[in-house]
């Protein structure tokens, strides 16, 4: 079967024939229908985020169960599933407290590139190839832990289901689950890519009154308006902090969401919120980066800083809920998918993401 492999930082992906082993105990093999092209994969390709290499990239996807390993009774061949980039055990302190994104199971898989038994199912000519975040959706077939899948309504188109696996749960979740934005609030979203646009539509769902989108590209700001932004600011043309103050009676916004992963824009976002406001950091900066924040303001202005990992979601609850909102016409997924590429053109899909041309694109493995 075909898969897209990253062998070294700075190199393009190699699309090649790989061997995939059968699922073992507690694992599920999925025939991937669509894999979303997210900036986090690009961060790994350019070395801003690390992952054990070589690796089959892709951490957003949906598909159809092909085979199940021993002991798996909740899935059967033919089930439609969304793939999760943070599997969670359901039993630990974090899972029981409703914070499954913080479970050790998914983190272990992410940093080792191995499934839970410490091995990989992918290889090529005897060379081991790692999993990415336990998903590896840029492959025709992939193997996941049973805890990394959510069964979905088979009527949902699988490309639309795929983007729920990362962009939508991460972006909408940051607003609804992490920040719990209330009706009438003002909020800023810095970075209007695949994830940021979903923070914007999360703001619409929450009933925020002002949703201010900040980007450096006008085409991204046009997408932002389509997803519910009430105001847009091009940060390459005006000082975005001053512009936010003007739009919020000089106070600053109630909430700011940083959806890029850049220390400079994290600092900007902190300065955009009002006294007592909340900054939610969704993007991850390069591992050694530090953020500069005026120390006294934290206390004197009672500002809050929150991280949001995977939109603080509870995937088995949130994925079906989001897909129901899509079916009810209340969540934009069709509009999110700007382009579809065959796997042979995956490097072109990443070039388009680098150039800022798309809201989200997906790699299509099957036509369903
Ligand atoms: N000011 C304003 N906007 C900017 C600036 C700037 N200085 N620099 C870039 N932007 C805009 C770009 O024009 C673009 O529109 C947007 O920021 C980024 O969008 P995308 O589409 O390139 O990125 P996404 O939405 O696919 O990914 C954003 C993340 C924040 C998820 C990603 O970058 C990240 O930080 N990933 C690491 C966190 C992680 O691992 N998450 C798990 C999987 S997503
Ligand atoms: Zn992602």
As a whole number of angstroms, the distance between CA 355 and CA 361 comes to 13
Is residue 278 within 6 Å of ligand 1 at its C-beta? no
* 48 pLDDT higher than 80: yes
Domain membership flag for residue 156 = no
Tokens describing residue 216: 């450096």
Domain membership flag for residue 295 = yes
Catalytically annotated residue among 95, 103, 166, 313: 166
User: Annotated catalytic, 39?
Assistant: no
Measure the N-to-C terminal CA separation of the chain; round to a whole number of Å.
Answer: 18
Do 119 and 204 reside in the same domain of the chain?
A: no
Tell me the CATH number at 241. Answer: 3.40.50.720
Q: How does the average pLDDT of the chain come out, rounded?
A: 97
Tell me the CATH number at 106. Answer: 3.90.180.10
Q: State pLDDT tens for residues 92-108.
A: 999 999 999 999 999 99
Do 233 and 280 reside in the same domain of the chain?
A: yes
Q: State pLDDT tens for residues 99-152.
A: 999 999 999 999 999 999 999 999 999 999 999 999 999 999 999 999 999 999
Q: If you average pLDDT over residues 50-60, what whole number do you get?
A: 98
Q: Are strands 122-124 and 127-131 parallel, antiparallel or unpaired?
A: antiparallel
Domain membership flag for residue 323 = no
Is residue 359 within 6 Å of ligand 1 at its C-beta? no
Q: Are strands 304-307 and 273-281 parallel, antiparallel or unpaired?
A: parallel
As a whole number of angstroms, the distance between CA 15 and CA 4 comes to 4
Q: How far is the CA of 193 from the centre of ligand 2 (A)?
A: 11
Quote the pLDDT of residue 182: 98
Looking up tokens 């590209």, which residue turns up? 217
Quote the pLDDT of residue 85: 98
Choice from 133, 195, 280 to test ligand 1 binding pocket (greatest atom count within 8 A of CB): 195
Domain membership flag for residue 159 = no
Length of the chain: 368
Domain membership flag for residue 122 = yes
* 287 pLDDT higher than 90: no
Q: If you average pLDDT over residues 262-268, what whole number do you get?
A: 97
Tokens describing residue 239: 């000082």
Tokens describing residue 177: 């689950």
Do 147 and 6 reside in the same domain of the chain?
A: yes
Tokens describing residue 326: 């899509």
User: Annotated catalytic, 38?
Assistant: yes
Catalytically annotated residue among 43, 80, 131, 231: 43
Do 136 and 26 reside in the same domain of the chain?
A: yes
Do 298 and 347 reside in the same domain of the chain?
A: no
Q: For the chain, how many structural domains are there in total?
A: 2
Do 181 and 82 reside in the same domain of the chain?
A: no
Q: How far is the CA of 161 from the centre of ligand 1 (A)?
A: 21
Other C-beta atoms closer than 10 Å to the C-beta of 39 total: 22
Do 139 and 247 reside in the same domain of the chain?
A: no
Question: Which among 177, 283, 195, 191 is positioned nearest to 233, based on CA atoms?
Answer: 191
Do 264 and 290 form a contact (C-beta atoms < 8 A)? no
Other C-beta atoms closer than 10 Å to the C-beta of 75 total: 18
pLDDT-derived band at 286, boundaries 50, 70, 90: confident
Residue range of the domain that includes 193: 171-308
pLDDT-derived band at 366, boundaries 50, 70, 90: confident
| Three-state helix/strand/coil letters over 202-240 | HHHHHCCCEEEEEECCHHHHHHHHHCCCCEEEECCCCCH
- Which of ligand 1's atoms lies nearest the C-alpha of 360? 21
Domain membership flag for residue 329 = no
Domain membership flag for residue 157 = no
* 368 pLDDT higher than 70: no
* 367 pLDDT higher than 80: no
Backbone angles phi, psi at 166, to 5 degrees: -130, -70
Which residue CA neighbors atom 1 of ligand 1 most closely?
215
Q: State pLDDT tens for residues 309-355.
A: 999 999 999 999 999 999 999 999 999 999 999 999 999 999 999 99
Q: State pLDDT tens for residues 67-84.
A: 999 999 999 999 999 999
Looking up tokens 């607003």, which residue turns up? 175
Quote the pLDDT of residue 31: 98
Poorest-pLDDT segment among 45-49, 166-170, 286-290: 286-290
User: Annotated catalytic, 92?
Assistant: no
Do 56 and 145 reside in the same domain of the chain?
A: yes
Domain membership flag for residue 138 = yes
* 185 pLDDT higher than 90: yes
Q: If you average pLDDT over residues 253-271, what whole number do you get?
A: 98
Do 252 and 133 reside in the same domain of the chain?
A: no
pTM of this prediction? 0.97
Question: Which among 62, 38, 35 is positioned nearest to 49, based on CA atoms?
Answer: 38
Looking up tokens 């036509």, which residue turns up? 367
Which residue CA neighbors atom 41 of ligand 1 most closely?
40
Quote the pLDDT of residue 193: 97
Q: Which residues contact 332 (CB under 8 A, 6 or more apart)?
A: 201, 226, 227
Do 27 and 57 reside in the same domain of the chain?
A: yes
Do 252 and 192 reside in the same domain of the chain?
A: yes
- Environment class of 25 (CB within 10 Å of its CB; exposed 0-12, middle 13-18, buried 19+): exposed
Question: For 59-70, b where at least 16 C-beta lie within 10 A, e where not — what string?
Answer: bbbbbbbbbbbe
Backbone angles phi, psi at 295, to 5 degrees: -65, -45
pLDDT-derived band at 252, boundaries 50, 70, 90: very high
Do 146 and 227 reside in the same domain of the chain?
A: no
């Amino acid at each position: 079967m075909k898969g897209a492999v990253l062998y070294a930082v700075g190199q393009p992906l190699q699309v090649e024939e790989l061997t995939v082993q059968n699922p073992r105990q507690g694992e599920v093999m999925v025939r991937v229908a669509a894999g979303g092209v997210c900036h986090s994969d690009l961060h790994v390709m350019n070395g801003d985020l690390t992952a054990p290499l070589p690796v089959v990239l892709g951490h957003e996807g949906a598909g159809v169960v092909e085979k199940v390993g021993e002991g798996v009774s909740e899935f059967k061949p033919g089930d439609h599933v969304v793939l999760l980039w943070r599997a969670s055990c359901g039993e630990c302190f974090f899972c029981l407290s409703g914070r499954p994104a913080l479970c050790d199971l998914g983190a272990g898989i992410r940093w080792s590139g191995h499934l839970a038994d410490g091995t990989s199912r992918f290889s090529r000519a005897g060379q081991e190839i790692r999993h990415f975040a336990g998903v590896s959706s840029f492959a025709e077939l992939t193997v996941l832990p049973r805890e990394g899948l959510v069964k979905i309504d088979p009527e949902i188109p699988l490309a639309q289901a795929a983007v729920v696996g990362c962009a939508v749960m991460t972006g909408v979740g940051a607003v609804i689950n992490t920040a719990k934005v209330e009706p009438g609030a003002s909020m800023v979203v810095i970075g209007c890519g695949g994830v940021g646009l979903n923070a914007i539509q999360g703001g619409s769902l929450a009933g925020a009154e002002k949703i201010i989108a900040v980007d450096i590209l006008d085409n991204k700001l046009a997408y932002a308006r389509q997803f519910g932004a009430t105001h847009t600011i091009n940060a390459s043309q005006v000082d975005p902090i001053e512009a936010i103050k003007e739009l919020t009676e000089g106070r600053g916004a109630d909430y700011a969401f940083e959806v890029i992963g850049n220390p400079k824009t994290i600092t900007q976002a902190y300065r955009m919120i009002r006294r007592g406001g909340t900054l939610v950091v969704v993007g991850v900066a390069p591992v050694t980066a530090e953020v500069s924040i005026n120390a006294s303001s934290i206390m004197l202005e009672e500002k809050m800083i929150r991280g949001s990992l995977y939109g603080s979601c509870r995937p088995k609850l949130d994925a079906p809920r989001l897909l129901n909102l899509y079916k009810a016409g209340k969540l934009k997924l069709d509009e999110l998918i700007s382009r579809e590429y065959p796997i042979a053109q995956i490097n072109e899909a990443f070039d388009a993401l680098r150039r800022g041309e798309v809201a989200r694109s997906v790699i299509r493995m099957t036509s369903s």
